[in-house]
Amino acid sequence: MAKDNFVENIADIETDFPQWYTDVCKKTQLVDYGPVKGTMVIRPYGYAIWENIQKELDARFKATGHKNAYFPLLIPMSFMTKEAEHVEGFAPEVAVVTHAGGEELAEPLVVRPTSETIIGNMYSKWIQSYRDLPVLMNQWANVMRWEKTTRPFLRTSEFLWQEGHTAHATEEEAVEETMKMLGVYREFAENVLAIPVICGRKTEKEKFAGAVATYGMEAMMKDGKSLQSGTSHYLGQNFAKAFDIKFLDKDGVQKYAYTSSWGVSTRLIGALIMAHGDKRGLVLPPKVAPEQVVIVPIAAKKGGVIEACEEIKAQLENAGVRVVFDNTDNSPGWKFNEWEMKGVPLRIEVGPRDLEAGKVILFRRDTCEKCECLKDSVGATVISLLETVQKDMLESARVRRDERIVKAADMQGILAGVESGNFVKAGWCGCRECEDKIKEKTAASARVMLDELEDELCAVCGKKAVHTVYFARAY
Amino acid sequence: MAKDNFVENIADIETDFPQWYTDVCKKTQLVDYGPVKGTMVIRPYGYAIWENIQKELDARFKATGHKNAYFPLLIPMSFMTKEAEHVEGFAPEVAVVTHAGGEELAEPLVVRPTSETIIGNMYSKWIQSYRDLPVLMNQWANVMRWEKTTRPFLRTSEFLWQEGHTAHATEEEAVEETMKMLGVYREFAENVLAIPVICGRKTEKEKFAGAVATYGMEAMMKDGKSLQSGTSHYLGQNFAKAFDIKFLDKDGVQKYAYTSSWGVSTRLIGALIMAHGDKRGLVLPPKVAPEQVVIVPIAAKKGGVIEACEEIKAQLENAGVRVVFDNTDNSPGWKFNEWEMKGVPLRIEVGPRDLEAGKVILFRRDTCEKCECLKDSVGATVISLLETVQKDMLESARVRRDERIVKAADMQGILAGVESGNFVKAGWCGCRECEDKIKEKTAASARVMLDELEDELCAVCGKKAVHTVYFARAY
């Protein structure tokens, strides 16, 4: 398939999705490789997306009663071993500080892969009475997990994230919190990232190391693979027992608290790229786009064009729109390609002929459609159109995804389904053996389990199904 | 000296300033000690101050054309050694990752103590032409310096900060940037933190390891000691040469770039505590206070009191004021002490008798003065009073400081000055020997040098002075 010349920098999305992803990451200057293998540098264009994500999420966390705090990066190795499943899950991936201040340390320190242990240690000091509960905290931080195979945003040895950690007097409250934050993530993913997600419980095999139950949200990428985009863990009393988080309850009895944790990361930038991108590059939803509008002058030397651009820019800025006016020497065609590749939701083309007629041209990045707009009403039109784009992007992602959810009743069906780039719904008996078999034969893993039982039988062993599961290949 | 009973939790500020500081840090729940020696946990009340600092600074950085990015935490050990002074300054303090992913690393990795080296490495890739300049970036990050003696906020092995890193085509531009950001810090310190600062150049002994020149801002704490509160470094071509940051200039010649870096940290929270605090505890300037107003009901069970509190709260919240309504079971007196200790700038006391007269009582934390206010105009009064408090706090800090700046013409004068808790201005010949002698005999260090020469002779050797220097004991 011949490549359009405007995307000569980017591999073809249809035939080489992985290379397309890497090209988009690099060519749009979202990210670069760091000097240490597996690390990334988040460049300003990528970091601006993260700042918008942070702002939106942080407001939601605060609105649900959470406060931000900051816990130390380095965790004593001995903490890791206090929760048996936790250490088994994370020990193989940790980076370890053994020397500091010119001396060998008495105890090696782990660079946090996640902070349940060190936060549990602090909570045990702060929580004495039922009056101290609930404790609802979040931190924005860097974490480190030493991975063998890495890709920018999706899997890197260091990444940025937020991790919420809460402690409650009762199981009910902790479970409610776990589900509430899953709901916050879903609402955010859909309304801010314009990414429809499938939420549900993870299988025992896929759950967080140390959790009683993990709930995740899964998003479909354009290659049909799934990206785990956020998780919320009900930790029961596992960490409370390991770290002695006890409180004197109203009834005068000492009890262990119930805890939860939940997180999303810079991985969400990868989700944005792969859920919305197309052959021309990035397509960013307005709410997180670093620039929501680019103004491109046509025949810039003609009288009045630059002035009109400046005027429109000022008008949009006053209305709170993030706007860039590309007044460089490059040709309009070059600018079109560049800003389309960078995924800016709207372009305003300002040319002398249109201006004479009191008009400008608007170009929507998501649909690649153009329309005319009266210059005098460009502010209101842009604001309304940005809202439309935001909604339409979610809707078209939902249509794309729903077309690619299929059902299967046996292994053949699962294999055929995932081979064609689908999410496959199938019945599952609940045993690890059948889950492993599917992974082995189809490279698909159980993404989430649904409450509703749609199939009577397990697609692998034919025994009675206890869950309906979404199977997919995943990042 | 007998302690007032309302401060029974806090050591006396006059007689035991260090313990007062530690007590205030802990009792107001700003911070706690982490499990690893020298680390701190920034608790929600402390972190909320940091968030306000971040918001104010970040807006200033963006307004001056800087963009945020994120660079990796781990730096190859070999990078550190590329700039000779830099490695000498920082190598003794670094924490080192030697193992990761279950294996020993081929090259040890340093947990960043500052990021000039890794950012220099990336800039060398990104900068090719004069068209790529200037590069103006900032990152908000954690850094680690292994210190022997630590104190919360002031000196901890890990702390949070921002570090700006810029690259320019000419020396003039890089120097201009260095001074511009020092100016941004000064304006921020004075108008947001209400802390007057003395800005100037650091001596060779005190400058940043690898800089051509370091400029700092120094703030006077209530014990007369100085706190270095921010620094801006002109790095010349030192890091450009070490990391090969070269560009093709307009004249067709390959040249090394000129770079700058500048930073402030969570140390500023320590500055707030020690510049404004008093015997009752914290005194926070309104612009960074997590809560700007606390509403305390008096005789809460009397009809109408709670309703009036709720009404005032809603009114203030709508006006954008950060307000807390303390409707707990504790006595008004207990609440007064608690919120005074936490430094909330204004308290509104709502009692039935005042309410009948259509009034409430306002209490200013900075002056500890009360005044009456008509309930119906409480919104406007509070907003205006918060502005007054903000200005008055700066002014009174300035008066306090200026009273404690003295001149000295000889070593005796310097010693007497610093012993009495002053900043001492003295002439200096510019030689390291005299600087070291002052340090040795008075425990005061050269804080900053001024451009104006106020004394003709060096206070130590009596030779011709080339600088006027502020000497002080420092944190």
Q: Please give the average per-residue pLDDT across B9-23, as a whole number.
A: 96
CATH classification of the domain holding B465: 3.30.110.30
Residues on chain A touching B99 (C-beta within 8 angstroms): 95-96, 98, 108
- The pLDDT > 90 percentage for chain B reads 93
Residues A70, B42: C-beta atoms closer than 8 Å:
yes
Shared domain check, A253 and A319: no
Is B102 part of the contact surface with chain A (CB cutoff 8 Å)?
Answer: yes
Shared domain check, B30 and B104: yes
In a domain, A396, yes or no: no
How far apart CA A189 and CA A183 sit, in angstroms, is 10
Among B222, B249, B276, identify where a domain stops: B276
Rg (CA), chain A: 25
State the smallest CA–CA distance between residue A444 and chain B in angstroms: 25
Shared domain check, B334 and B458: no
Total domain count, chain A: 3
Residues A41, B97: C-beta atoms closer than 8 Å:
no
Residues on chain B touching A68 (C-beta within 8 angstroms): 44, 47-48, 51
Q: Residue A137: CA atoms inside 13 Å, Cβ hemisphere, count?
A: 27
Phi then psi dihedrals of residue B467, to 5 deg: -140, 150
Phi then psi dihedrals of residue A198, to 5 deg: -105, 120
Shared domain check, B189 and B129: yes
Among A245, A276, A307, identify where a domain stops: A276
Amino acid sitting at position B162: Q
Residues on chain A touching B148 (C-beta within 8 angstroms): 101
Q: In terms of CA atoms, which chain A residue is nearest residue B34?
A: A72
Tokens of A70: 């900051």
Residues A314-350 have pLDDT tens digits of 999 999 999 999 999 999 999 999 999 999 999 999 9
In a domain, B283, yes or no: no
Q: Please give the average per-residue pLDDT across A410-437, as a whole number.
A: 96
Residue A5 scores a pLDDT above 60: no
Is B141 part of the contact surface with chain A (CB cutoff 8 Å)?
Answer: yes
Tokens of A472: 């997919």
Closest partner residue to B51 among A36, A68, A72, by Cβ? A68
Q: Show Cβ contacts of residue A128 under 8 Å, excluding neighbours closer than 6 positions.
A: A247, A248
Q: In terms of CA atoms, which chain A residue is nearest residue B43?
A: A69
Among A233, A217, A232, A231, CA closest to A275: A217
- Secondary structure string (H, E, C) spanning chain A: CCCCHHHCCCCCCCCCHHHHHHHHHHHCCCEEECCCCCCEEECHHHHHHHHHHHHHHHHHHHHCCCEECECCCEEEHHHHCCCHHHHHHHHHHCEEEEEECCEEEEEEEEECCCCHHHHHHHHHHHCCEHHHCCEEEEEEEEEECCCCCCECCCECCEEEEEEEEEEECCHHHHHHHHHHHHHHHHHHHHHCCCCCEEEEECCCCCCCCCCCEEEEEEEECCCCCEEEEEEEEEEECHHHHHHCCEEECCCCCEEECEEEEEEEECHHHHHHHHHHCECCECCCCCCCCCCCEEEEECCCCCCCHHHHHHHHHHHHHHCCCCEEECCCCCCHHHHHHHHHHCCCCEEEEECHHHHHCCEEEEEECCCCEEEEEEHHHHHHHHHHHHHHHHHHHHHHHHHHHHHCEEECCCHHHHHHHHHCCCEEEEEECCCHHHHHHHHHHHCCEEEEEECCCCCCECCCCCCECCEEEEEECEC
Judged by DSSP in three states, B453 sits in: coil
Angle at A186 between CA A140 and CA A380, to 5 degrees: 90
Among A352, A385, A418, identify where a domain stops: A385
Residue A36 scores a pLDDT above 60: yes
Is B320 part of the contact surface with chain A (CB cutoff 8 Å)?
Answer: no
Shared domain check, A234 and A305: no
pLDDT of A454 = 82
Residues A146, B92: C-beta atoms closer than 8 Å:
no
Q: In terms of CA atoms, which chain A residue is nearest residue B136?
A: A44
- The pLDDT > 90 percentage for chain A reads 93
Residues B44, A67: C-beta atoms closer than 8 Å:
yes
- B114 with B143: CB under 8 angstroms? yes
* Residue B330 DSSP symbol: S
Q: In terms of CA atoms, which chain B residue is nearest residue A136?
A: B44
Residues B364-401 have pLDDT tens digits of 999 999 999 999 999 999 999 999 999 999 999 999 99
In a domain, A393, yes or no: no
Is B144 part of the contact surface with chain A (CB cutoff 8 Å)?
Answer: yes
Residue B5 scores a pLDDT above 80: no
pLDDT of A453 = 85
Residues B98-152 have pLDDT tens digits of 999 999 999 999 999 999 999 999 999 999 999 999 999 999 999 999 998 999 9
pLDDT of B170 = 98
- Under the banding of pLDDT at 50, 70 and 90, the label for residue A8 is low
pLDDT of A3 = 39
Residue B15 scores a pLDDT above 90: yes
Q: Please give the average per-residue pLDDT across A54-82, as a whole number.
A: 97
Residues B101, A118: C-beta atoms closer than 8 Å:
no
Closest partner residue to B41 among A97, A122, A144, by Cβ? A122
In a domain, A12, yes or no: yes
Shared domain check, B445 and B364: no
Shared domain check, B262 and B304: no
Is B190 part of the contact surface with chain A (CB cutoff 8 Å)?
Answer: no
- B99 with A95: CB under 8 angstroms? yes
- A475 with A225: CB under 8 angstroms? yes
Q: Show Cβ contacts of residue A195 under 8 Å, excluding neighbours closer than 6 positions.
A: A189, A219, A229, A271, A272, A275, A276, A394, A397
Peptide bond into A332 cis (omega under 30): no
Residues on chain B touching A94 (C-beta within 8 angstroms): 100-101
Residues A67, B74: C-beta atoms closer than 8 Å:
no
Residue B1 scores a pLDDT above 50: no
pLDDT of A2 = 38
**Average pLDDT score over chain A:** 96
In a domain, B398, yes or no: no
Q: Please give the average per-residue pLDDT across A43-49, as a whole number.
A: 98
Tokens of B346: 């204004």
pLDDT of B8 = 64
Q: Please give the average per-residue pLDDT across A3-14, as a whole number.
A: 71
Tokens of A266: 């810079």
Among B234, B263, B80, CA closest to B164: B263
**Average pLDDT score over chain B:** 96
Closest partner residue to A74 among B39, B67, B100, by Cβ? B39
B426: containing domain: 405-472
Please identify among residues 34-53 of chain B the ones whose CB lies closer than 8 Å to any CB of chain A. Answer: 34-36, 39-44, 47-48, 50-51
Residues B73, A32: C-beta atoms closer than 8 Å:
no
Shared domain check, A313 and A239: no
Residues on chain B touching A76 (C-beta within 8 angstroms): 35-36
How far apart CA A26 and CA A31 sit, in angstroms, is 6
Amino acid sitting at position A52: N
Residues B99, A95: C-beta atoms closer than 8 Å:
yes
Residues A236-273 have pLDDT tens digits of 999 999 999 999 999 999 999 999 999 999 999 999 99
In a domain, B263, yes or no: yes
Shared domain check, A205 and A89: yes
Residue A1 scores a pLDDT above 50: no
Judged by DSSP in three states, B429 sits in: coil
Q: Please give the average per-residue pLDDT across A418-426, as a whole number.
A: 96
Q: Please give the average per-residue pLDDT across B309-322, as a whole number.
A: 96
In a domain, B326, yes or no: yes
Residues A72, B99: C-beta atoms closer than 8 Å:
no
Q: Which of A27, A29, A41 to mutate to test the interface with B (most CBs of B within 10 A)?
A: A41
State the smallest CA–CA distance between residue A236 and chain B in angstroms: 24
Torsion angle defined by CA atoms of residues A201, A206, A207 and A210, in that order, rounded to the nearest 10 degrees: 170
Residues A160, B70: C-beta atoms closer than 8 Å:
yes
- The pLDDT > 70 percentage for chain A reads 98
Shared domain check, B59 and B162: yes
Residues B226-270 have pLDDT tens digits of 999 999 999 999 999 999 999 999 999 999 999 999 999 999 999
- Under the banding of pLDDT at 50, 70 and 90, the label for residue B222 is very high
How far apart CA B6 and CA B334 sit, in angstroms, is 8
Residues A210-246 have pLDDT tens digits of 999 999 999 999 999 999 999 999 999 999 999 999 9
In a domain, A156, yes or no: yes
CATH classification of the domain holding B230: 3.30.930.10
pTM above 0.90, yes or no: yes
Residues B67, A76: C-beta atoms closer than 8 Å:
no
Tokens of A30: 């979202």
Shared domain check, A155 and A57: yes
How far apart CA A236 and CA A259 sit, in angstroms, is 6
pLDDT of B4 = 45
Residue A81 scores a pLDDT above 80: yes
Shared domain check, B269 and B120: yes
Q: Please give the average per-residue pLDDT across A381-401, as a whole number.
A: 98
Is B99 part of the contact surface with chain A (CB cutoff 8 Å)?
Answer: yes
ipTM (interface pTM): 0.96
CATH classification of the domain holding A325: 3.40.50.800
How far apart CA B453 and CA A15 sit, in angstroms, is 71
Tokens of B159: 């702390």
State the smallest CA–CA distance between residue A253 and chain B in angstroms: 23
